[in-house]
Structures are given as structure tokens and as C-alpha cells.
Structure 1
Amino acid sequence: MTVAANDTALAEETFAGHPKGLFNLFFTEMWERFSYYGMRAILVLYMVAAVSDGGLALTNKEAGQIYGLYTMAVYLSALAGGFIGDKVFGARRAVLLGGIIIAFGHFTIAFASTITLFIGMVLIVLGTGLLKPNMATIVGALYKPGDMRRDAGFSIFYMGVNVGAMFAPLVCGYLAQGEEFKAWLSSVGISPHVSWHFGFAAAGIGMVIGLIVFVTQARLLGTAGLKTKAAPAAVVETSTTAEFLSRDEWRRLGAIAVLFVFNILFWAIYEQGGSSLNIFASKCVDNTIFGWSFPSTWLQTFQAGFIVLFAPVISMVWLKLGDKQPTAPTKFAIGIVLLGLGISLMVPASMLAAQGKVSPLWLIGVFLFECLGELCLSPVGLSTVTKLAPARFASLTMGAWYLSISIGNYTAGSLSGLFDEKNPSGMTTLFGSMAVSALVATVLMALLVPMVKKLMGNIK
């Protein structure tokens, strides 16, 4: 890929105060996340569904373990993908190749068999590892060092993630669970038991649309993400990483390490949305409106919908505050306490579930608090890593950041394996423990704010 001088100038043009290239990445990421969250919305439900309903009839524990391993691998692969983007392909080529592999993965799962499910999951893991860290690297490359628009830009980018995640459960969930769609399949001679696989196919189509956007609008990116960053020859031959990182760079990596730990906890609780809360919605929530039953996966739309609603608000708040806005570690503490308040609502909801199906408003409330917390933590984490990471290891460091999300996702799957919708007291204990853990972590993060600020130096 080559870029002419006029393309570079085009990349410097702005729209709504941000580089135009940001909006290419916004829509590309939107469709990639549509594919990911479309599959996420139905994966666990497909695995625990009875064979007579087209599912795999796995236990909650088995499905939780597979879900945790899969989502862990998705983000763990970002570590290698970041290195490949830095040193081999360049970030932009890595994104393109990753998207192609992801699409093939979803289309593989669209064929109804256990083997194709696991082959498809492996392909999605590999593709996402290439795409995720390098997308964030390209976003960071659109802004010059010290540009105060960076956090706001990542918030806008993050809103794209959640626009895709908002519509994915509606489309993929309806195709997988919708009674009307199943009836239509029967009317044309297709077994309604394969409806799950129409949902998986829709996820693949979303990724293809994202690739089309990325390629056709590439000129808006200028040179961002095209070049690989080869290490100096002398370093390759004689030095270790420790020897060619400066003292300030090590201190900044130390700040990332502290945030890394708290990021694990956040995602371990947040990702219950795709596992235990997903099963809770299917088994314990009254999903009827005026006699019409909607797919339980539709409730996951609120998880992303609130972010779409509030992301512009949070972005404007950070821009308005400018230099007076809270520091990154303070934003992390705010995000974790909001997460804790959200999951704490599942304690009374679990108690009420012992008496019968509960109102969907309980889950909607959980998603509201969790998503406000996510907006204070996740885009800020991405932005902070791009600011603190050594320039020659930008994608590699971003890949390491996704490792924390990977560990959090694996922990989420392990925790969800303890969920049993037939044991209300066990549900209460499980969700109560998560809430207490989040509140304790908030206090610890608040106490560590001065130390993290010192490690960050003059980076804000």
C-alpha cells in the first residue's frame, strides 16, 4: 500500500474536530464488533441448548469454560498480532489480513457441526489477534504527541465498537432465537434447529462489510499504520529490551502494569454479560411484552446501547475539562466503582428469581452502571497505553494490554461456570462476591493514584 502526498494532506483534514481517518476506523471497527458480539450473544446459549433445539447440550460449567478459553484466546492472540503489526506487516496490512480471517471463521461456524464450530473459533481468534491491537495503534497514529483530542478520539472510536455491539444481538439473536424466523424456516422446508447458524452467518457478513469500508476509505488514513518499526541493528545483535529502554520508559511501563491488574478485574466481572447474565436472561427473566416473547439476547443490546448513548457525553466532558479532567488512574477508580454498583443489582435480582421470573429492568440497570463504568475505563486504558508505550513497541505494548483483557475473559468464563439458575442462593453469593471485589478494588485503585501519576511522569 502506498500513499500519495495529497492523501497525506487528506489525512490531516478534520471532521467534528478530529482527523477524518478516525471515521474510517469507526465504521470498520463497528462492523468487526458486530461480527464479534453477534457471535458472543448466541454462543453460550447455543452450547447449553438441548440437542432437540439444535444446540450442543453442554452444562453451564462446560459452556463457561469454553467461552472463557475462547474469549481469552481472542485477546491473548493480540500479543502476537501486535508484534506482527509492528515488525512484519505494518498495522494496516495486519488489520486487513485479520479481518479476512475473521470472516472465514464466522462462515465456517455457519455450517452446522461441532468440528466447524471449533475450527471457526480458532480462525476468529487468529484474525482478531491481528486486527484488534493494530486498529488501536492506527487510531493513536492519527494524533500527534500531546494532542489533547486523543482521549476524546478514542471515546469516539469506542462508540463505534458499541454501535456494532448494539445491533449485533438484535440481528444475530433474532435469527438464532426468533420464533417468527424459525417458523419461516419450517415453511420453506428448512429445519428450525439450524437457526443458530444463520445467526453465525450474519456475523460473518458484518465482517465483510467492515473490510469493504476499510479498503475503500483507506486514503483517509494517510500514512498511518503503513510502516513497520524495525529495531536498530545494533540492538538486534547485542542488546536486550532492558538495555535499550530508558528509565522513563520503564517507569511508564510500570504505570501500565498497575492499570493492567485492575483491568483484569473489570473484565472478569463485565464479561458475565455474555455468559452467566446471558443464561440468567434466558432462564430467569420474563421476556414477554403484551404477550409477545422477544429473544433473550436482545437484552444485550442495552449493554452496548447505553455506551452509544453516553459515549458522546463522556467525550464532551473530557474535552470541556481539558487539563482539569481526572487522570487516567482516577478514571479507572470511577469505572470500577460503577461496575461494582451495577453487578450488585444482581443480588436482589437473584433473590427474586427464587419466586419466579424477574423483570428485565434488573438486567437493564446492571448494564447501565456497567457501561458508564466501561466508558470511564476502557477507552481511557487504550488511550493511556498509546501515550505511555515506547514508540518502537506501540503495537506490542497494545497487545500486552489486550493480554489483561484476555485474562479477565478467562476468569469471567471460570466464574460463570459457578452459575446455576436452579440455585438462587448460589447466584446471590456469586454476584455478591463480585460486587464486593469491585468495591475493594476501587479503594485500592484510589490509594494507588498518586504512585501511578508519578510513574506516568509528564504524560497526562
Structure 2
Amino acid sequence: MNKAPVVPRHEERLWGHPKGLIFLAMTEMWERFSFYGMRALLVLYMVQELLLPGRIENVAGMGAYRSVVESIFGELSTQAFASQTFGLYAGFVYFTPLFGGLLADRWLGAKRVVMIGIALMTLGHFAMAFDVSFLLALLLLVLGSGCLKGNIAAQVGHLYERHEETLRSKGYAIFSTGINVGATIGPLVCGLLAQVYGWHIGFGAAGLFMLVAAVVYFTGLKYFAEDRAVAPVGESLPPLTASEWKMIALVVCVLLITMCQSFAYEQLWNVGLLWVNERVDLTIGTLTVPTPWFASEDSFASVVALPLLLVIWAWQGRRGGEPGDLAKIATGAIIMACSSAMLAIGALSAPDGKVSILFPLVAYFLSGIAFMYQWPTALALVSRRAPKKINALMMAGAYLTLFVVGVGTGYIARFYEPLGDVAFWTLQAGISATGALLVLFLGGAIKRRMDALEDLG
């Protein structure tokens, strides 16, 4: 009697997708809970408390750090210094994955590097609970994210075969839903704890949930695919071919286009939360809405939008008309431009008074939908198109664009006070709309060339 072949654990399926996807999505959910919970507090905490006289002196190394920052960017007000610090943190969180990807591709493999990242981020979140270790906490979080971000996203792509293009895109959409569930709950919980019990309790809660992320990841290890393209000891990977270099150039071109939307999106987490806190009437009856909750709304909108988008795309696909990757990216850029425009309209509606809460509610909901059109699509494109020899490194390269965006967003934030809020948010809308225009003019040629290079190799 013939026995059925044994299916390797990493090939086991659930609802059509590899089981490993569920554990990776859940790991990312809890990690994002921690990350976005802390991130929603960060710029408000600096402006309202940490950078004030009597508190800033408690932070180890702050004098030297501020001297370096102002030697590069010039003298900064408290708001501008907080925004620039936030921008540097948000940027370097996406710069270090380049080295994490290289470490995984060449030496340790994605699994080991992700474990290192979880440990560093856990330490960083707990260090954020103390004034003295504020800068150390940011450093640990930056290094931990570098190990985790690109590699865990690359592991999602490793679960799928090359011919599973549509399924892979949906897998990344599900993975991004894990991100957005965590990003929804994190600011709600951490924001409420910070408002009721103080900033450090909010930061400490973020550290606790990094421990949950570690448990989930270790539980799912048996369902993950084997690490790819790790060079044997003493050997190097084969050099990239001319076609592979051309494909890399095209992928980079697409990633540069996505940066237009990302500039406007990241500004909602920086100046956006300061603007809401200062300009919006946050009272609903006897309730004062915590400002970080708007960051949760952005992520909640992404979660709510996903099932509808999957249904729409499936319906379009059955009729042969599902939008391609670049068309989805352009749609996201248009929606994000509308999000920024809502804040400009809100500011215009109440030049001397408090803005209705409806304007940021609409803006942050639209930004969440825009995210789902852009970021999962960009990750799926990189995973599918990037050469296997440097796949994890290229996934890290996707996050590298957000390094430029983070630092650039911090720089642009200095113009908020001199420009005024109407002009500032109009500028953000224009930046995002530029991404859609670039796809309109260049998208067709880029896709045709990518398809031709794939056929060659």
C-alpha cells in the first residue's frame, strides 16, 4: 500500500496560503503594535514634555546630539527639533534594513537575523520608559528594525513559488493586514495609557508586546521556508548578470516613484499629530479624544479596506482587467493627495479657531486606504522582480526609500510654522500627486521592460 507523500512543514497550506504566512503576519502584528504604539507618542512626548527645560537635561547625551543635529540642519525651534529627531528616527529605522538584508543574504540567513532584531527592539522599547536612556532606546530600536524589517518581509516571498504571482500579492496584502491590525491597536492602547498613567507607562506597554512577537515567531519557525541565497562559507555568490542589473534599475525606479506618496503619508505621523493636537477640537461630549488615536484610525482603515479591495481586484481579474502593480501605486498616490488636501481644507475652514474633528477623521481614513494600494503592492513587486541572489537585500532596499522619506519629512516639517497650515498641507498633496503623474508618463514603459527581462531569464 502506497503512502501519501509527506508535505514539508513549510509547504503546508491553510486557505490556499502557506501556514508560515499566518505566523509571519502575527509576528509582524505584535511587533507593529509596539512600534506604532511608541511612534504615535514620540513627537508629542518630545514637544510636550521631554524637550522642555528641567527635563531635557535628564537625557544622556542630548547636548551633544542636539549640537550635531543643529550643525547639519541649522538652529531649530523645539517643534522643529522634535520633528527633525522624529524624522531621523523614522528614516534610520528604514536605513538599517539594508545591512540586515546583507547580513541575512551573505552570512546568517533571514531567520537568525530576525531573532536578533526582536531582541534588540524589545530592549529598545523598555529603555524608552526612562528619560535618561531615551537616545539609547532610539538607537536600539533603529538597529533592531534593521535586522527585522526587510528579512521578515522577504520570508513571506520565500513561501511562494515563482508562478504564484497573484497569490503572492494577496499574501503580502494579508501580511500587511497584520501590520495594520497591530498599528491600529498599538496607538489606541499606548495612547490611552500615556494619557491616563503617563508617557512612560505607554512606552513600557510597547515593550511587553515585543515579547509576544518573539513567542509567535519562535512558534512558527517550523513553517517557514529555508533561507535562500546564503553563500557557503568561503564562497561568494555568482555575480549579477547584465539583465539582472537592468531589472534592479527598473525596480529602483518604481521605488523612487513610491516615495512621493510616502512623503505625504509620513508627514501625518509627524506634523500631522502636532496639527491635530493644536488645531482640532477633540472634544466629543465629555470625552477628549487622545491625539494618538488618529494614528490608529489610519491603520484601521487599512484593515477595513483590505477585504473590499481583494473582492474588487478579484472581480476585475475575472474580467481580465485587474489593475497592475503600477496602476495600484498611482491610485494610492491620488488617494493620499486627497488625504492631505482634507487637512488643508480643514485649516482653511477655521483660520482663527478650532477645526472640526471630521476633517482629520476623513484624512486619516483616506491615508489608510492609500497605504493598502501602495505599500503591499510595492513589496510584492520587489519580491517577484528582484534577482534571487540579492532578494532579501532588495527587500531591504524598498525600506531604504523610507529612510530618505523619514529624514526628508523631518526637514520639510521645519516649514510648517513659517508657511502656515493651509499652504503646508497643500504642499503635501502636491508631492503625492506627483507620484501619480510619474506613473502616468513612465509606468507603461517600465512594465514592458520588466516583462521582457523576466522572459529572458
Is TM > 0.5 for Structure 1 vs Structure 2? yes
Instruction: Write the distance in 2 (CA, Å) between the matches of 1:233 and 1:53.
Output: 55
Shift of 1:355: 2.7
Q: Which moved more, 1:11-20 or 1:67-76?
A: 11-20
How far apart are 1:50 and its partner, in Å? 4.0
- The whole-number CA distance in structure 2 between the counterparts of 1:227 and 1:383 is 17
- Alpha carbons of 1:234 and 1:70: their partners in 2 closer, same or farther (altered >3 Å)? closer
- Report whether the alignment pairs 1:383 with 2:402: no
1:218 aligns with 2:215: no
Structure 2 residue 87 is the aligned partner of structure 1 residue 93:
no
> Residues 338 and 370 of structure 1 are in contact (CA less than 8 Å); yes or no, is this contact kept in structure 2?
yes
Q: Which moved more, 1:54-63 or 1:279-288?
A: 54-63
Q: Distance in 1 between matches of 2:156 and 2:235?
A: 30
Contact 2:261 2:435 in 1 (8 A): no
What is the CA distance between 1:369 and its match in structure 2? Answer: 2.0
Letter paired with 1:445? V
Render the CA deviation track for 1:22-65: whole Å, top value 9, x for unaligned. 00011100011111101110000010014689975971100111
1:227-306 pair list within 5 angstroms: 229-230=230-231, 244-306=239-301
Choose 350-359 or 40-49, whichever is displaced more.
350-359
Equivalence for 1:346 = 343
Select the residue among 192, 195, 202 that pairs with 1:174: 192
Distance verdict in 2 for CA 1:434–1:231, change over 3 Å: farther
Displacement after TM superposition at 1:208 (Å): 0.8
Residue correspondences, number = 427
Identical residues among aligned pairs (%): 32
Q: CA RMSD in A?
A: 2.3
Mapped partners of 1:374, 1:53: distance in 2: 38
CA deviations 1:239-267 (Å, max 9, x no partner) are: 8xxxx322332232122121121122221
SS in 2 for 1:338: helix
- Preserved contact between residue 266 and residue 408 of structure 1 (Cα < 8 Å): no
**Contact 1:304/1:371 (8 A) holds in 2:** yes
Q: Secondary structure at the match of 1:263?
A: helix
Aligned to 1:70: 89
Residue segments in structure 2 that go unaligned for 5+ positions in a row:
58-76
Q: 1:132 to 1:281 in 2, by over 3 A?
A: same
Q: What TM-score comes out, normalization by structure 2 length? A: 0.88
2:46 match = 47
Structure 1 residues 339 and 199: CA distance shift in structure 2, 3 A = same
Gaps of 5+ in 1: 183-194
- Aligned-partner Cα distance in 1 for 2:252–2:233: 26
- Residue 229 of structure 1 aligns with an amino acid whose one-letter code is V
**Which AA in structure 2 matches 1:293?**
T
- Match 2:201 to one of 198, 204, 210: 198
| Equivalence for 2:121 | 102
Partner residue of 1:120 out of 125, 133, 137: 137
Query: Take 2:380 and 2:183, find their aligned partners in 1: how far apart are those partners?
Result: 20
The letter for the 2-side match of 1:213 is: V
- Separation (CA, whole Å) in 1 of partners of 2:400 and 2:188: 29
Distance 2:17 2:191 in 1: 34
Shift of the alpha carbon at 1:154? 0.2
Tell whether the 8 Å contact from 2:261 to 2:431 is kept in structure 1 after alignment. Answer: no
Question: Which letter does structure 2 place at the counterpart of 1:69?
Answer: L
Provide the residue aligned with 2:426 in structure 1: 432
- What's the counterpart of residue 359 of structure 1? 356
What CA distance in whole angstroms lies between the structure 1 residues aligned with 2:245 and 2:232?
A: 18
Quick one: which amino acid aligns to residue 174 of structure 2?
I
